[in-house]
């Protein structure tokens, strides 16, 4: 499981002496080449290419051997192995994701987090609660998979049928007992949900099941959770995991596209009035080189080439001959977007990759932009 605090810890690797080996490895067992641990051959090829780019780097060779030994003990129970190894600190982070990421290996100061951050941005962690008067199911949906944490059964007496005139008093007591039992059931579910949200760092909530009970649960949530509730869906308590996952994905994708479009529209307003945003690669690089920025925004699938200063680590377009900041030599950077994203994250900023209508809107001013700190 990857948590927000894990990303914060990985960002701090850039402040430590020495380099970090970053590996994104395709371990999907649905692919014949990866079976019988064929992905270990893929790893060897990636590391061989990386070592060839850094001839004579003994620390890289030693770290690469350690990573090969670590991967030999990995169970390929997903699609992508994410692994970071900092040899001097004795630090290793590894996680197998259920989603596919392009295989790659990087060696340098700090962990290369852009592929992972993009996935986390696209796939927020959702809690899904399906409730009726007799039952409640608490699930989480994250990174393309669903996990059911609790299936709670409530002992609620049924609401009595309409009585004859001589049984009205008994009817009133039975109805009151039923209503009190339902209310207690809802409050218990709210407490369990609150605990789950804190434990798993849930970003958003979806409720379903009986419409009346789902709305009662929404009202019973603490205020700090009510702000995370995004939708009440007509999903029955008996729904399969596949149905819950699919319906939640639909909500997730719709809300993500809406949020991205809002970010881009705000950005464009700032760019056009000369405010706290810039657009286009040269202006974005200038902004990132000058000071930490609040948010880097770019179109999904973007690939950039550029240069980095070996002295001050400034990032520049291919048009520059020497570093405009210190006059030193520049060297080519094939995956400029990774270095740019890393620099933004190290400065305490965030990264937003946009798709669909938001991407088309951003292209009015360029494929990449930055929102400056206020």
pLDDT in tens, 221-275: 999 999 999 999 999 999 999 999 999 999 999 999 999 999 999 999 999 999 9
The CATH number covering residue 344 comes to 3.30.1330.30
Residue 196 lies inside a defined structural domain of this protein: yes
3-state secondary structure of 265: helix
pLDDT for the residue numbered 347: 86
pLDDT for the residue numbered 263: 96
191 and 276 in a common domain? no
Look up tokens 């395709």; give the residue. Answer: 26
270 and 212 in a common domain? no
Quick one: average pLDDT of 58-79? 96
272 and 224 in a common domain? no
pLDDT > 90? residue 306: yes
pLDDT for the residue numbered 40: 97
Helix or strand holding residue 121 (H, E): helix 114-122
Distance CA 213, CA 2 (A): 32
Residue 141 lies inside a defined structural domain of this protein: yes
* pLDDT tens, position by position, 120-159: 888 889 999 999 998 999 999 988 889 999 999 887 666 6
Residue 252 lies inside a defined structural domain of this protein: no
Residue 96 lies inside a defined structural domain of this protein: yes
Q: What is the CB-side half-sphere exposure of residue 89 using CA atoms within 13 A?
A: 20
132 and 235 in a common domain? yes
69 and 27 in a common domain? yes
Residue 35 lies inside a defined structural domain of this protein: yes
16 and 94 in a common domain? yes
Q: 170 falls in which pLDDT band (50, 70, 90)?
A: low
User: How many separate domains does the chain show?
Assistant: 3
CB neighbours (10 Å) of residue 124? Answer: 18
pLDDT for the residue numbered 163: 53
pLDDT for the residue numbered 9: 87
Residue 244 lies inside a defined structural domain of this protein: no
**DSSP string of 199-248?**
HHT--EEEEEESHHHHHHHHHHS-HHHHTTEEEE----TT--HHHHHHHH
pLDDT for the residue numbered 336: 93
3-state secondary structure of 354: strand
Domain membership of residue 97 as a residue range? 4-112
Average pLDDT, rounded, for the chain:
91
Distance CA 134, CA 346 (A): 49
The CATH number covering residue 140 comes to 3.30.420.60
Distance CA 245, CA 252 (A): 10
Nearest to 132 by CA among 186, 189, 188, 210: 210
Quick one: average pLDDT of 100-114? 93
């Amino acid at each position: 499981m990857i948590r927000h605090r894990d990303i914060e810890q990985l960002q701090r690797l850039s402040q430590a002496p020495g380099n970090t080996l970053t590996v994104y490895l395709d371990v999907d067992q649905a692919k014949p080449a990866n079976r019988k641990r064929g992905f270990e051959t893929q790893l060897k090829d990636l590391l061989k290419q990386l070592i060839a780019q850094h001839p004579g780097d003994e620390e890289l060779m030693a770290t690469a051997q350690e990573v090969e030994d670590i991967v030999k003990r990995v169970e390929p129970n997903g699609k992508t192995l994410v692994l970071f190894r900092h040899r001097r600190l004795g630090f290793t982070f590894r996680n197998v994701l259920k989603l596919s990421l392009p295989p790659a290996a990087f060696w340098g100061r700090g962990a290369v987090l852009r592929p992972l951050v993009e996935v986390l941005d696209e796939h927020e962690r959702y809690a899904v609660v399906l409730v009726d008067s007799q039952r409640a199911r608490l699930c989480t949906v994250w990174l393309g998979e669903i996990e059911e944490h609790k299936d709670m059964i409530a002992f609620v007496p049924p609401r009595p049928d309409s009585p004859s005139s001589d049984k009205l008093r008994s009817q009133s007591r039975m109805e009151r007992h039923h209503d009190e039992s339902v209310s207690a059931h809802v409050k218990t579910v709210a407490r369990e949900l609150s605990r789950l949200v804190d434990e798993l760092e849930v970003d958003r909530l979806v409720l379903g099941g009986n419409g009346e009970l789902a709305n009662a649960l929404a009202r019973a949530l603490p205020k700090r959770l009510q702000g995370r509730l995004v939708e009440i869906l007509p999903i029955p308590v008996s729904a399969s995991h596949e149905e819950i996952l699919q319906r939640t994905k639909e909500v997730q994708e719709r809300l993500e596209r809406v949020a991205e479009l809002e970010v881009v529209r705000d950005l464009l307003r700032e760019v056009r009035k000369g405010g706290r945003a810039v657009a286009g690669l040269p202006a974005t690089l200038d902004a990132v080189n000058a000071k930490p920025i609040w948010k880097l925004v770019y179109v999904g699938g973007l690939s950039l080439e550029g240069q980095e200063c070996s002295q001050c680590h400034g990032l520049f377009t291919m048009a520059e001959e020497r570093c405009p900041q210190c006059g030193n030599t520049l060297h080519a950077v094939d995956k400029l977007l990774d270095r740019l994203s890393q620099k933004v994250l190290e400065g305490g900023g965030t990264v937003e990759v946009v798709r669909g209508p938001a991407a088309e809107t951003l292209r009015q001013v360029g494929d990449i932009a930055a929102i400056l700190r206020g």
